[in-house]
Chains A and B, each alone.
Chain A
Amino acid sequence: MKKARRITSMVMALAMMTGIMATATGCQSNANQSAASSAPASSQEASSEAASSQAEPEGKVLNIWCWNDEFQSRFNAYYPDVKEVAKDKSTTTLNDGTIVKWTINPNENNNYQNKLDAALQNQESAAADDKIDIFLVEADYALKYCNSDYTLDIKKDIGLTDSDLADQYKYTQDLVTDKSTGAIKATSWQATPGVYAYRRSFAKQVLGTDDPEKVQEQLSSWDKFDQVAEKVKKAGLLMLSSYEDDYRVFANNISQPWVDGTTVTVDPNVMRWVDQQKTFTQKGYTHKVRGQFTDPAWTADQGPKSKVFGFFYSTWGINFTLLGNSLAKPTSEGGKEEVGNGIYGDWAVCQGPQSYYWGGSWICGCKGSDNIGTIKKVMQALTCNKEIMKKITIDTQDYTNNKSAMNEIANSDYKSAFLGGQNHIKLFADVADKIDMKNCGPYDQGCTEKFTQAMNDYFDGSIDLAKAKANFEKAIKETYPELTEVKWPS
């Protein structure tokens, strides 16, 4: 009897532990289904589907998936057919009665993509009104979706024409071109050339001038950048906030894609970033923040109490992130976006040591959508319409994906009060044409993340470089089991 009781209690203890196991076995049945369903449908089939669905009545619900409210706020403010927006912003009603349903899943820890992937795999079996119609992707992982069959060809399937797309920056189309078919699979309302945003007051103090052209002269190469960093340190300030602040500038100028076949190749230019950060850390030029958006210290470094000289940011970073961070009293607490609130107006932008881009959001039409007509209208209005694009830029200081509109603003007397009266659109227009996306690939996101994380320990001084390299190799193989080898520059 006693023995029996003991056995029972042990069985119960084991049963408790089985909770561990459940974590590893998510939604296998779904995965199996989609393996069957992801058989490639030829584009002809897809286009005939699109043509027929245009004739059919459109679905009453337009499901849009994204990771923050950036596109939502653009949509609500600039899409001409918006009738009303729900109080909690979860839905938007269009003039023809279509209800736009917003599904926003934050990005942290790959959350957005995990949820999106799961939803895409259920796309086929979902009810018509639950199917995703539009989802947004970022540059770092755009190819993962654009190389797949889940995205619609914006010309053949959705019906945008070459003349619609003529005014867009070419790189914004190259980046989302399906590598196997050559079809353009997404379209964006923004182009995201990167610049260096610096504090005017600090530039005057350290360099004797805050004129963007003169500052650019002193920051035009990495050697000069390092020299300025030394001066900045002497003045009691910091050059950079996070270890990762200028990673993208180096990583965008690599000479080959991260991954070829199953081999990861670390580019010499990326290793140059490692050397620079190690030196900067040892000499005390940085604030040693790990990561960027996840760390409140990084955000604070863009605010009124900061000692950081400047930040590498692209277009959206200026108006969407930096502006908000620089206010002493945020707009949510009744602060105004005006000179005098925090360090509004104390910023200026210059090109920096190397040209690069950072981020950007693309709109994808999702296969299986019953709202092709609406998707076409949305894409036309928000990514091809010159007037709307121009208005977005003037209202929000965002840089939009329309060459002629941007050139008009660049050559006008447009001024940004936030940037102390600078016409930054002119600078963006100059650098946007230089962006080269030929070395981007579907592994960029994981490589960037794992590489910077592995190197952080080396910068902190807790391990040596060889160990950090080994940790990157481990992490990247965990993340992408298909990768087998990592090559380092000699």
Chain B
Amino acid sequence: MKTQNQTVRNTKRIRYTKWGYLFIAPFFLVFLIFQFIPLCSTIYYSFFKYFRSGLKIVGPIFIGFENYISLFSTDLPKYFGNTVIIWLIGFVPQIVISLLLAAWFTNTRLNLRCQGFFKTIIYMPNLIMAAAFSMLFYTLFTDNGPAKNILVSMGIVSSQFNFLASVSGTRGLIAFMNFLMWFGNTTILLMAAIMGIDPSLYEAAEIDGASSNQSFWMITMPLIRPIMAYVLITSMIGGLQMFDVPQILTNGVGNPDRTTMTMIMFVNNHMYSKNYGMAGAISNVLFILCAILSLIVYNSFTKKSSFDSPAQKRRGKVNG
């Protein structure tokens, strides 16, 4: 009798597992067909000479690591540098402003009005297609564009200054667009993280006489660290894959002097002649770089670091 009961329970459990697998199967099927197989063929073809000359197909001829060697003898590090720089000058203000906004929105003492309205406005730029946004900025900031004319008449920039012919101008515009598009999203994520913190912690801190500044650095920051890691990693991966904004803004050239050429734009240049070998090699390099950077960020954010020790120390003191 006992054993029968047990087997019934077991089969029930197995049936549940089966349903579980069934439910996640669509994702893995789609992943397998549209991501994993292309991924493998990208790696595979990166060892081949394989492109189109006119309508004629050259290759595939196995050439070992030749694509990678020629890649590193060209400007690949420069394009990687461009990508990282543009991402950083967009991401730093993005995370600062998002944190600030998230802290304000969630602060019960401030109790801001019209929060829904502001949140919608902040999120709005993300709804615009990146290509359209970029086209708009191009029209505004070309040498004869209205934004430039306004800035010149306000005396902010000289009439000689051409946004799209200066390195800082072009990189700045791209970073600014990325910032505008993504800070709303980050704000909402961080708000969710902050609202997940137990309010009694803040109350306790307040009773202990902590200023709002202190409770932000000692309570909020350490406790939203997992979300921060998530924001950082997704933003970094998105940043390294930056393509549409600079592509449209510079018409695919990465001007001036290829200083706004990102990694994916470089891949795209090779797709003109359907150069699967070289494009695959660049993609693989980018994949490895992405993986390494993500690992570093992930590890530094999940290990116990000195970041939360002041709070612990303080808590210890209070308790003591």
Contacts and interface: CB of A to CB of B under 8 A. Distances in A.
Contacts of A145: 55
A467 B167 CA distance: 15
Given A35-B57, A148-B55, A456-B255, A22 B35 contact: yes
Contact of A26 (B166, B234, B253, B271): B271
Given A17-B291, A19-B35, A474-B75, A462 B257 contact: yes
B75 A481 contact: no
Interface size range on B against A: 35 or more
A457 B241 contact: no
Nearest to B41: A25
Contacts of B302: 6
Contact of B272 (A288, A474, A479): A479
Nearest to A462: B256
Interface in A293-340: 294-297
B139 interface: yes
Contact of B45 (A25, A147, A297, A479): A25
A13 B232 CA distance: 12
A28 B255 contact: no
Interface string A117-133: 10010000000000000
Interface string B36-71: 101101110100000111111110000000000000
Contacts of B164: 290
Interface residues of A, number: 58
A26 B51 CA distance: 12
A31 interface: yes
A479 B274 CA distance: 9
Interface string A4-38: 00100110011111111111111010010011001
Contacts of A482: 51, 53, 58
Contacts of B145: 297
A15 B144 CA distance: 44
A457 B253 CA distance: 10
B283 A21 contact: yes
A291 interface: yes
A294 B251 contact: yes
Given A21-B42, A479-B269, A453 B280 contact: no
Interface string A126-150: 0000000000000000001101101
Interface string B263-303: 01011111111111011101110110011001100100010
A18 B35 contact: yes
A474 B70 CA distance: 12
Interface in A40-81: none
Contact of B274 (A26, A446, A457, A474): A26
A296 B284 CA distance: 38
Contacts of B6: none
Given A15-B31, A22-B35, A26-B271, A462 B55 contact: no
B283 A24 contact: yes
Interface in B74-121: 74-75
B233 interface: yes
A147 B287 CA distance: 38
A325 to B, nearest CB: 15
Interface in A430-444: 442
Given A17-B237, A23-B264, A25-B41, A453 B253 contact: yes
Contact of A20 (B74, B264, B274, B275): B264
A17 B263 CA distance: 14
B252 interface: yes
Among B45, B266, B272, the one with the most A-chain Cβ atoms within 10 Å of its Cβ is B272
B34 to A, nearest CB: 7
B42 A144 contact: no
B54 A144 contact: yes
A47 B31 CA distance: 47
Given A35-B57, A148-B54, A460 B165 contact: yes
Contacts of B38: 21-22, 25
Contacts of A287: 144
Contact of B294 (A13, A456, A462): A13
Contacts of A463: 256-257
B140 to A, nearest CB: 11
Interface string A447-483: 0000001001100111100010001001100111110
Contact of A457 (B257, B266, B275, B291): B257
B142 interface: yes
A144 B35 contact: no
A296 B57 CA distance: 37
Given A117-B55, A461-B165, A24 B256 contact: no
A109 B237 contact: no
A110 interface: yes
A207 interface: no
Interface string A375-407: 000000000000000000000000000000000
B225 interface: no
B215 interface: no
A305 to B, nearest CB: 11
B55 A480 contact: no
A289 interface: yes
Contacts of B234: 16
B42 A24 contact: yes
Contacts of B257: 457, 462-463, 467, 471
Interface in A144-194: 144-145, 147-148, 150
Given A148-B55, A297-B142, A467-B257, A462 B166 contact: yes
Interface in B101-155: 139, 142-145
Nearest to A464: B257
Contacts of B278: 481
A21 B39 CA distance: 6
A21 B287 contact: yes
A291 B255 contact: no
Nearest to A468: B257
A77 to B, nearest CB: 32
Given A13-B294, A17-B290, A17-B291, A478 B165 contact: no
10 contacts: A10-B298, A13-B237, A19-B241, A20-B286, A22-B39, A24-B271, A25-B42, A26-B276, A288-B144, A296-B139
Which 8 A-B pairs have CB atoms at the shortest separation, nearest pair first?
A: A460-B165, A462-B256, A24-B279, A25-B38, A24-B283, A478-B269, A297-B144, A148-B55
Interface of A: 6, 9-10, 13-26, 28, 31, 34-35, 38, 109-110, 117, 120, 144-145, 147-148, 150, 287-291, 294-297, 442, 446, 453, 456-457, 460-463, 467, 471, 474-475, 478-482
Given A21-B287, A291-B251, A462-B167, 19 more contacts: A13-B233, A14-B291, A17-B287, A18-B287, A20-B290, A22-B34, A22-B42, A24-B42, A25-B38, A25-B276, A28-B45, A28-B276, A31-B52, A289-B142, A294-B251, A295-B142, A456-B255, A457-B256, A479-B273
Interface of B: 31, 34-36, 38-39, 41-43, 45, 51-58, 74-75, 139, 142-145, 162, 164-167, 233-234, 237, 240-241, 251-253, 255-258, 264, 266-276, 278-280, 282-284, 286-287, 290-291, 294-295, 298, 302
